C-alpha cells in the first residue's frame, strides 16, 4: 500500500535531500538533521533537532518518528519519545528529540541521518462511558499477570 506525502523544504534545509527509503522493503525512511552548526549531546542530554521539513499527511494516517538502530547500538543515542506521533493536521517543522544514553558525548552533524519515520493508518475511536465492562478470562490482571 502506498500513500502520497507532500514535503516542503524549509529555507534552512534547501541543500538537504528529501527523505528516502534505503531499501525496497524498508518500513521507514530516514530523517536527516538540518542544524546549522554541530550539536553536542553530552551523556544524558537531550536536544530538539530540526529536520528542515514540513509535510502534509493524508487524513487517516500518522507519521511515527522512531530511533535508528545503528545510532542506538553504536552510540546509545535514541529518540526520547518513541514513537513520536505526528498528526495529519500538523504543518510545522518536523523535529526529533534525541537523547544520548551512551558513555561518550555525541555530535549531531548537519545532514546526519538521525531517525526514521514510518507512516501508519489511524483509526479514531468513538469514546463511550459505561457502567460495566464485558468480562474476560484475564479480567483486571495487570503487569506480569499473564506470565504466572
Tens-level pLDDT at each residue, the chain (148 residues): 789 999 999 999 999 999 999 999 999 999 999 999 999 999 999 999 999 999 999 999 999 999 999 999 999 999 999 999 999 999 999 999 999 999 999 999 999 999 999 999 999 999 999 999 999 988 887 887 777 5
d(CA 113, CA 110): 9
> What local confidence, expressed as pLDDT, does residue 141 receive?
79
Q: Is 81 annotated as a binding residue?
A: yes
> What local confidence, expressed as pLDDT, does residue 144 receive?
75
Q: Is 97 annotated as a binding residue?
A: no
Q: Is 70 annotated as a binding residue?
A: yes
Residue 136 corresponds to which cell in the numbers above? Answer: 474476560
> What local confidence, expressed as pLDDT, does residue 84 receive?
94
Q: Is 69 annotated as a binding residue?
A: yes
> What local confidence, expressed as pLDDT, does residue 148 receive?
58
- Nearest Cα residue to 71 out of 35, 36, 31: 31
- Nearest Cα residue to 106 out of 34, 38, 52, 60: 38
Domains with residue ranges and CATH for the chain: 6-121 (2.70.40.10)
Whole-model pTM: value is 0.88
d(CA 52, CA 62): 19
Residue 66 · residue 116 · CB < 8 Å:
yes
Q: Is 66 annotated as a binding residue?
A: no
Q: Which residues of 34-60 are buried (b: 16+ CB within 10 A; e: fewer)?
A: bbeeebebeeeebbebbbbbbbebeee
H-run or E-run covering 75: helix 69-75
> What local confidence, expressed as pLDDT, does residue 64 receive?
98
> What local confidence, expressed as pLDDT, does residue 41 receive?
98
Amino acid at each position: 500500500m502506498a500513500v502520497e506525502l507532500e514535503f516542503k523544504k524549509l529555507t534552512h534545509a534547501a541543500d538537504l535531500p528529501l527523505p528516502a527509503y534505503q531499501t525496497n522493503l524498508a518500513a521507514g525512511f530516514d530523517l536527516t538533521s538540518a542544524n546549522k552548526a554541530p550539536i553536542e549531546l553530552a551523556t544524558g542530554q537531550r536536544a530538539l533537532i530540526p529536520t528542515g521539513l514540513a509535510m502534509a499527511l493524508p487524513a487517516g494516517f500518522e507519521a511515527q518518528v522512531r530511533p535508528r538502530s545503528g545510532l542506538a547500538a553504536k552510540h546509545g543515542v535514541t529518540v526520547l519519545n518513541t514513537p513520536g506521533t505526528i498528526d495529519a493536521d500538523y504543518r510545522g517543522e518536523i523535529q526529533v528529540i534525541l537523547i544520548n544514553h551512551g558513555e561518550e558525548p555525541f555530535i549531531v552533524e548537519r545532514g546526519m541521518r538521525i531517525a526514521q519515520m514510518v507512516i501508519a493508518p489511524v483509526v479514531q475511536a468513538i469514546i463511550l462511558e459505561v457502567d460495566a465492562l464485558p468480562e474476560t478470562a484475564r479480567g483486571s490482571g495487570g503487569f506480569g499477570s499473564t506470565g504466572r
